[in-house]
Chain A
Amino acid sequence: MNLKPYNPFSKLRTEQMGDNVWKYFVDEPFRAKISEKPLIFEGSRGTGKTMFYKCNSWQEKKYSYQSEPTIKNLIGSEKHIGFYYLVDSRFISSFTGKETSEKVWSGLFNLYFNCVITLEIIDFIQEAIKEGLMTIENIEPFNKKLAYRFSTHNINSLAELKNVLQKKLIDLETFSNSTLNDSPNGTGPGIIITDLVEELKKIEYFSHLTFHIYIDEFEKLLKYQQITLNTLLKQSNHNLVFDYAVITNGIKSYKVASQEEIRKKDDYVSLTTDTAEYSNIQEFINLAVKICDKRLSIYLEEQNILSKSEDHTSLKWYLKKYPRGEEFKVLSIDQFNNLKKQLYQVLEIQSRKLNYDKTTLESLKGFFSSLDPLIIRNSICLLLRTKSNIIPALELKEMIENQNQRYKDLIGNTLYHTEFLLGHEINAAKLYSGIQTFSALSSGVIRSFLELVEESFNNALFYSSDRLDFKKPRQLTQIEQSDAAHKVSKNKIDEIESYEPHGFRLKYFTLALGKIFRSHHISPSSTLGEVEQNHFTTEYNTLKQNKEEAFILFQEALKNKILEQGESSKTKDGIEFFDFHINHIYCPYFGISHRRKRKLKISAQDIEGLLIGSEKQIESIVTKYLFRSISETPNLFSDHQ
């Protein structure tokens, strides 16, 4: 049975929204980014690039005038009119080789691009004619010019114009399938589009408009094709602007045909969501919540459900934040006895060192064993500290009793790590809840946030004994939210294998990193001196310059947002380091912290081994970086959870 219609958050991709894209769109915070200057929106998959450009195209944006979605209304208050184009990679990546020169292919690509964009604009013209904003005569000079350019008969109608362009596209298909056929004549970059826009700008209604061509999935273009479109981007002016959406690291060249380059600020505005910090900033959280609230309202309206309280249309209310550490409130007798046994051992060792008498020891045992299990486990770690870092049990007891600042600082730094440690020891899955947590887990990827919300609601709507009914709404339980976090995390790990072309290798790499970080979270002998090691630094330039094959895969890891790049830092020797975080959505699967705390240094050589080494090499590198006192057999692929 298809359950999706019953979940307000089930549409995760723009393509799934059919003809209703606009109604799901939240135009903040990027509203002002469309301007006379080209925009390059760079982000990993699921960051909303397609949604953004589609909803800024005229077909969608006119629906912002709900009462009368017409072009007239749209252009009455807008300065920018957009045309959306999704790169047809299966077609245009065939424009290469086959004993045909790049010069010829380049001309044919220009012909193709001119035809497909002109066809897009013709759809707009067709509607503008219907609305009485223009007539076919307005573009007569363009039609004449095109007929001359293509050596074809006179073009007297939009249908004829379309036919001429579509015939060119069929010629291109035929030639690409067999280059023994005659090649169509190529054109210059963007000339037909420019001709048409020039004619349209002469029409009174359109004279104030800047025409935008939004090119989505720019990364799928061949290098020479990107260079061609870079040329168009550089030539953008207040009449016609070319904007791109591109996956992180998807730009193969910044060059233009004249060997110059396109430059940020001078030539284009850059918008990127792929920084390690983005998921924590309020802008992302606000956007994610607004998107969900909008979907919730649409759903309730469609179902004719009148909400009795504003809360019931707010994601914040449903995704209740529960106190941390709930999973440790009730331990079994065996688990608690084991914990006490560990505690007593540590106290006895320290008592011998510090010459505590028997009475003191017994009193300490009594005090510490009466605390919450999580605090007991945290105390065990702290009591394991030695030499100059030693914390005497009596002193710790006093700190706990008085809750002084030093203890608050200690707990602030170490308690979260303890949750992973104790969770591992008692086999309790980490609990997650609340918008801030989901936001942090999503690593700035809107689709990941939506998946977390969707799964949480799936759990409440379909798999709960107290099923959520929007007519009598309730808040989602911590288990419903946590199960969603673990499920989405596992799905995302599984998904890595499908990242073409190197998914198989990238999955090994991710599992290896997860195994290393996990070992630092669950060491029984941890003193919590270094907590929550969940990212790494490496000699990026060495990798780039000397490890070519590995660097390609490393870039793929960044492109697919398996890794996020943080700020760089330089050593005294001038060696450049960057911090790299694994996508936080993987953290529940590995049972590691998603907070940005401590990092490990992994050499470029070992990163190379993890990316392209044999199974044995990978395992040996992992062993090297595991937390030292872990005695388990270093099997990469076991024991994640």
Chain B
Amino acid sequence: MYQESYILSDHNRAIFSSNVDIVITDSLQEEDHRSSALLTKLKGYKGLILLLSSKDNYQSFSYTLKQNGEIIDKSLNSIPIIPQYFKLLNSLNLTTKSVLLDITSMRQALIFYSISVFVKEIKTKLFFVSYTQPKKYERKNLPNLKDSEEPFDLIEMFKGSSSPVPGFIKKASKKDKLLIVSLGFDKKRFVAINESTNPKEIYPIFGFPSYKPGWDQIALKLNSDTLLRYDVFDNAKNCLATSPFDIINTLKELELNWKSQYDIYLCPIGPRPHLLGMALYAALNNTYIVYDFPLEKKFGSQGSGKTYIYHLTNLI
């Protein structure tokens, strides 16, 4: 499979700054260094910036469109993702433009729908996706929670994994389900999603090599009880945590082996590049996606590391 990805650096930033027409990113939030990392690194970028936010991370969003620091359009209130986000993108004539979608801090509902639209509806001139990795995750600040093995301050509340995923709404069939789940540091999400999906077979995927040495081991340790409980340790697979391409290859292999027997359900609760890979794969192959839509918690991470840019024009 053709793979093209870059680490944004002094050597290539001018190329991206001058060749991208619109950056679609999360509404910049001062406390979150990672959400602003891309635009900080793309010095000299003068194109359009579409800033998105979604309080409910599910069905509504708001936006601000900027050029040269000036606001040229803005939603007054929260508006429904379906159909308004498509209307907005359509109004920007993106078929003649190069688009860079920054998924670093973007709410997942917006990432899913964006990928669905760019794969199925709007073919852009060039299509890039960027992701800035975190430096570290915040430690849990709880009183001696001896029964919890989750060391990181992760999400407290979810919309729930029985919710539809925008752009990937699909009627369930009567076939048995095979769940492919990209895992991270939050084992309760895996349990909840498994409960609501009732798969016959599970393939867990870990981000390895990870952003930092040892993070894959933490994810493995945190999920090991659950893997044992579901008897799926032997099915575990590793995919590069910083790339959407590696996981797409793994998904292809698994689908080839199992498609005749099962409906494949993809569940990206691990690293964001995995979420991107799964969303791309699902949009291209009309596969099911299951997701639980975390709410409330904004920043589970601290600092910003490398920024990856994936060139996906050929893929979509």
Contact = CB atoms under 8 A, between A and B. Distances in A.
A172 interface: yes
Interface stretch (B126-134, B160-168, B213-221): B160-168
A130 to B, nearest CB: 19
B87 A500 contact: no
B282 to A, nearest CB: 12
B147 A493 contact: yes
Q: How large is the interface on B (under 10, 10 to 19, 20 to 34, 35 or more residues)?
A: 35 or more
A546 interface: no
A30 interface: no
A503 B186 CA distance: 13
B231 interface: yes
Contacts of B87: 180
Interface string B196-226: 1010100000000000000000000000010
A2 B121 CA distance: 44
16 contacts: A90-B162, A90-B163, A90-B164, A91-B164, A91-B170, A98-B80, A98-B83, A99-B84, A169-B171, A173-B171, A179-B83, A490-B147, A498-B195, A500-B160, A503-B188, A636-B143
B234 to A, nearest CB: 8
Contact of A637 (B142, B165, B198): B142
A248 interface: no
B116 interface: yes
B86 A172 contact: no
Contact of A90 (B148, B158, B169): B169
B170 A511 contact: no
B159 interface: yes
B272 interface: no
A90 B172 contact: yes
Nearest to A172: B171
Contacts of B162: 89-90, 93, 220, 500
Contacts of A635: 143-144
Interface of B: 59, 80, 82-84, 86-87, 116, 121, 142-148, 156-172, 176, 188-189, 191-192, 195-196, 198, 200, 225, 229, 231, 234, 290, 292, 295
A338 interface: no
Contacts of B157: 501-502, 504
Contact of B164 (A45, A93, A615): A93
Nearest to A589: B147
A177 B169 contact: yes
Contacts of A98: 59, 80, 82-83
A178 B89 CA distance: 13
Contacts of B164: 90-91, 93-94, 176
A605 to B, nearest CB: 22
A615 B292 contact: no
Interface in A1-34: 2-4, 13, 15-16, 18
A533 to B, nearest CB: 22
* Ranked 8 nearest A-B pairs via Cβ: A94-B164, A498-B191, A498-B192, A500-B160, A497-B188, A89-B162, A15-B198, A498-B188
Interface in A26-47: 45
Contact of A97 (B59, B163, B172, B229): B59
A94 B109 CA distance: 13
